[in-house]
Amino acid sequence: MRTNMKAHAPVIVLSLLAGLGAYAEGDPDHDAPLTPLPPVSAPPDNPITPEKAELGKLLFFDTRLTGDASLSCGDCHDPKKGWGSSGPISRGYPGSVHWRNSHTAVNSGYQGKLFWQGNARSLEEQAPIANRGAVAGNGERDVMQSRLRQTPYYIKAFKEIFGTERPNLGDAWHAIATFERAMLSQTDTPLDQYLAGDEEALSEEAILGLELFRGKANCIECHNGPLLADQKYYNLGVPRPIEWETIGLNTITFRWENYAKGVPEESYRTWKDDAGLYYTTKRPEDVGKHRTQPLRYLLYTAPYMHGGQFYTLDEVVDFYNEGGGDNEFTDGTHGFNTKTSILKPLDLTDDEKELLVIFLEEISGDEITMATPEIPLYGVMPDVPGLTQTAAKRIGLETYLSTRGGAQEASQ
Ligand code: HEC
Ligand code: HEC
């Protein structure tokens, strides 16, 4: 008994440490094992309820939450396009382009930090960044909130779910986050079944692919744990998106993003690649690093990488087989190199590359399909006794209501 416990102790300690992310980049020995995805969890101040998830679903597809009311989350995270967008670089707010590839929203509820550069700590924090960001939703807070308050269905639903007299924008972000957690999480894919002990759940080829993934191809070094992503950041030397070189609007957007993210003037003038995590941390060693992507929904989410640089999984596997690539943060252009030392040429045969791709495709599971819901209509708000348009314009609605003892109502 005692000997047994002793034998197990180091294993327990090691897995605890791995769970805390205690191992530095480059340590090849301790990777969190691949395990089935657990049920998704929610923060204590935003528990999942079916009603809130349904409300969030409507809001996800509602164009009211952008500047000119023409675009919804669902336009850049389209159910028919893997809950992302099919272009390499995402579309932007009308008249603009985005500068990065749109992630799938599937399984985003499991991410520690959101975005390629990890600049949002929760889905609740992520949604307003999306809807207010200049090249995404470009919405103005008061306008978006007023639109919700002018919609009878939302007034009723927000009251029932959040207990408020009028919808608050912050609650809309909570509802959207709940929708993503409740309806866009996958917990029963062939991979989950296989990892739970059903050896028939994957084909023989896929199982051989998994062996390569864990062994010779060494993908497991970064794509590990239940999500197949270690929540860390690396510069793999992914090449510059071609659009930044060839299309003026994309170049301008890239430069503007650098400016907006506060890079020093010299970098603003000279950098031409995406500095990734650096924009969030401003640590020189983080230049060019991007978050490891989960690999659970790949079949539906091409193209791949932060700028959609690769159209197929074959291209991705070729890229890794060559030991990654080069960009100006690896090739010495600026006098430094942040490329990860983990990537090395893999020497995979054509058959091995194919097995790896079969594995990546097969673990994607069923497509999460969803018909776009019908969006509730605006309504004419109830009459205010004695209020004419002229009076309302002259004195302002709130002042008018306060003279009638209705201040409480007007300020909700
Ligand atoms: C104009 C297109 C556009 C719109 C509108 C948009 N997104 Fe995104 N979304 C993107 C792009 C592009 C990224 C990647 C940006 C980055 O990482 O810098 C992204 C990233 C995300 C992520 C991060 C996923 C991950 O794995 O880290 C989530 C979640 C998300 N969006 C949800 C939403 C929600 C919810 C809305 C509406 C409130 C929304 N998006 C609106 C384009 C858009
Ligand atoms: C050193 C860590 C590391 C290793 C090893 C690694 N990856 Fe990645 N992987 C990443 C990072 C980081 C990204 C995002 C990079 C970016 O966009 O700049 C990524 C992205 C991907 C993507 C794109 C996913 C998407 O949604 O766009 C695929 C596919 C992928 N990796 C597959 C693999 C395979 C297969 C292997 C093994 C041959 C592997 N990776 C090895 C870190 C790694």
* Nearest ligand to residue 294 Cα: 2
Q: Is the CB of 90 under 6 A from ligand 1?
A: yes
272 class by beta-carbon count within 10 Å (0-12 exposed, 13-18 middle, 19+ buried): middle
Per-residue model confidence (pLDDT) at position 391: 66
For the chain, 412 residues long, give each residue's pLDDT as a single digit of tens: 333 333 333 333 333 333 333 334 445 557 899 999 999 999 999 999 999 999 999 999 999 999 999 999 999 999 999 999 989 999 999 999 999 999 999 999 999 999 999 999 999 999 999 999 999 999 999 999 999 999 999 999 999 999 999 999 999 999 999 999 999 999 899 999 999 999 999 999 999 999 999 999 999 999 999 999 999 999 999 999 999 999 999 999 999 999 999 999 999 999 999 999 999 999 999 999 999 999 999 999 999 999 999 999 999 999 999 999 999 999 999 999 999 999 999 999 999 999 999 999 999 999 999 999 999 999 877 666 776 767 666 666 666 667 665 444 444 4
Q: Which ligand is nearest to the CA of 325?
A: 2
- For the Cβ of 167 lying below 6 angstroms from any atom of ligand 1, the answer is no
Per-residue pLDDT, 31: 87
Binding pocket residue ranges, ligand 2, CB within 6 Å? 217-219, 221-223, 234, 236, 238, 290, 292-293, 295, 298, 301, 304-306, 313, 316-317, 320, 340, 342-343, 356
- Nearest ligand 2 atom to the CA of 360 is 35
Based on C-alpha coordinates, what's the Rg of the chain?
24
Write the residue with the smallest CA distance to atom 16 of ligand 1: 115
The closest-lying atom of ligand 2 relative to the alpha carbon of residue 232 is 12
Query: Minimum-distance ligand to the CA of 178?
Result: 1
Question: What atom in ligand 1 is closest to the CA of residue 101?
Answer: 12
What pLDDT score does 152 carry? 93
**How far does the centroid of ligand 2 lie from the alpha carbon of residue 161, in Å?**
40
Ligand nearest to the CA of 118: 1
Type of residue at 249: L
Question: Is 50-183 CATH 1.10.760.10?
Answer: yes
Six-digit token pair at 145?
């909130």
Q: Do domains 50-183 and 199-362 have the same CATH topology?
A: yes
pLDDT at 379: 87
State whether the beta carbon of 227 lies less than 6 angstroms from ligand 1: no
**306 CB near ligand 1 (under 6 Å):** no
CB of 261 sitting under 6 A from ligand 1? no
CA 305 to ligand 1 center in whole angstroms: 14
Residue closest by Cα to atom 13 of ligand 1: 102
Domain boundaries, given as residue ranges, for the chain: 50-183, 199-362, 385-412
Which ligand is in closest contact with the Cα of 102? 1
Q: Please give the number of the atom of ligand 2 that sits closest to the Cα of 348.
A: 38
Q: Are 241 and 253 in contact (CB under 8 A)?
A: no
pLDDT value at residue 10: 36
**Distance (Å) from CA 101 to ligand 1 centroid:** 9
Give nearest CA residue, ligand 1 atom 37: 73
Could you tell me if the CB of 368 is within 6 A of ligand 1? Answer: no
Q: Which fold has domain 199-362?
A: Cytochrome Bc1 Complex; Chain D, domain 2 (1.10.760)
